[in-house]
A and B are shown apart, each in its own frame.
Chain A
Amino acid sequence: MRRACMYAAFALALGGSLAAQSQPAEFHAPATDDAGVRMQTKPAPAAPAYQADVEARIADALARARGENRRVLIQWGSNSDKASQALIQTMTKNSGVAYTLLYEYEVVRADITGSERAAASYKADLKAGGIPYFTVLDADRKVLANQPAAPFKAQGEGAAAYDGRRLNDFLMKLQAPYLNADPLFRSALARAKKEQKMLFLWFSAPW
């Protein structure tokens, strides 16, 4: 499985700038004093689940979605909101939802603070619908759904717990139709022949 996951990063490995990869986000060089002796440091704080800079991250997600025939799921919420945090638990712990997200969606968790303009651009009515809230986009940035998460709250399991089955049904209804590999293959092969090139054909899966 690990090797498969690594192959998912194959494009990045071959295409990414090495300079850009020289310090991954999780890398933190140990602090040293003037003599170069390593000092005790606190672990780096975890990144907040819901982040700002929404439009740039949506643009990145759309680019990935186009390449992988996926949808983009914008999950509007707040790091200080219990329901927003509970929804993340359902989306990561419920196996059905987690599977659908892994295979079918690029997920952007957007902090609503400072994201009003972005939300409005997708007609996400966060004031009326409350948070957490979903916007589903196709890879061409077309809005497929705006949906408050409140209707997915589980009955009798506490106000902040969500029904994974109903949430998964919602996600599966909106996932991208699967492409037919054969015409894509024939088209790529014809293009290769016309351009006097070869076809680099690689087989993989979302995991």
Chain B
Amino acid sequence: MALNTVAPVLAKDFVTLKIDTERMTGGEAILKRYSAKEQGIPWSVFLDGDGKALIDSTEPEEGNIGFPETDQEIAWFKVMLGKVARRITRAEIEMLTKSLVAFREVRLPQR
């Protein structure tokens, strides 16, 4: 997220922080604070400036999307962005989600 063309788009609405739960002291505790049940990682959440969770990567029917790979998972990531975006435009959300689709099709092993 800190790289190239997308970083300025995300930075319009977000400060980003990666917590490595295996290599950071206290990382697991922060995960448990926001993730009500054990859902595994990767897991992500958008917080407001007071630390209140706005939406997270747990899709209501399918559970934690982890890395958004399938159409359904990418769709949920789009929902996440769409729910909270204030300065990021719809077109930019489309660009972000399309980049995930393109990444899946170009870089990931064929299933």
Question: Cβ of A197 and Cβ of B30 under 8 Å apart?
Answer: no
| Contact indicator B13/A198 (Cβ below 8 Å) | yes
In Å, the complex CA distance between A200 and B80 comes to 11
Distance between B37 CB and nearest chain A CB, rounded to angstroms: 14
**Are A198 and B18 in contact, with the CB atoms below 8 A?**
no
- What are the residues of chain A within 8 A of B69 when measuring CB–CB? 3, 6
* Cα-based distance from A37 to B20 in the complex (angstroms): 49
- Specify which chain B residues have a CB less than 8 angstroms from the CB of A182 in the assembled complex: 25-26, 29-30
| CB-based contact B20/A199 at 8 Å | no
Whole-angstrom distance between the alpha carbons of A12 and B6 in the complex? 10
Please indicate the chain B residues that have their CB under 8 angstroms from the CB of A195 in the complex: 15
Q: A39 in the interface, Cβ–Cβ < 8 Å?
A: no
**Are B23 and A199 in contact (CB-based, < 8 A)?**
no
Query: Are A199 and B15 in contact, CB atoms less than 8 angstroms apart?
Result: yes
A-B contact count (CB 8 A): 185
Q: Is the CB of B23 within 8 A of A21?
A: no
Q: A189's closest neighbor in chain B, by CB?
A: B51
The chain A residue sitting closest to B39, CB to CB, is A203
Q: Which of A21, A103, A184, A185 contacts B107 (CB 8 A)?
A: A21
Residues of chain B lying within 8 A (CB to CB) of residue A18: 99, 102-103, 106
Cα distance A21–B99 in the bound complex, in angstroms: 10
Distance in Å: Cβ of A98 to nearest Cβ of chain B: 16
- Min Cβ gap A76→B in Å is 27
Asked if A189 and B102 sit within 8 Å, CB to CB, the answer is no
A198 touches B108 (CB 8 A): no
When A205-B41, A206-B22 are in contact, do A14 and B6 touch as well, CB less than 8 Å?
yes
Q: Which residues of A contact B72 (CB under 8 A)?
A: none
Assess whether B75 is interfacial by the CB under 8 Å rule. Answer: no
Residue contact A200 to B46, C-beta cutoff 8 Å = yes
Q: Enumerate A53-89 residues with CB–CB distance to B below 8 Å.
A: 67-69
Closest 5 CB pairs of A and B: A193-B49, A15-B3, A7-B67, A7-B42, A202-B44
Binding site for B on A (CB under 8 A): 2-4, 6-7, 9-18, 21-22, 24, 67-69, 103, 178-182, 184-185, 188-189, 191-206
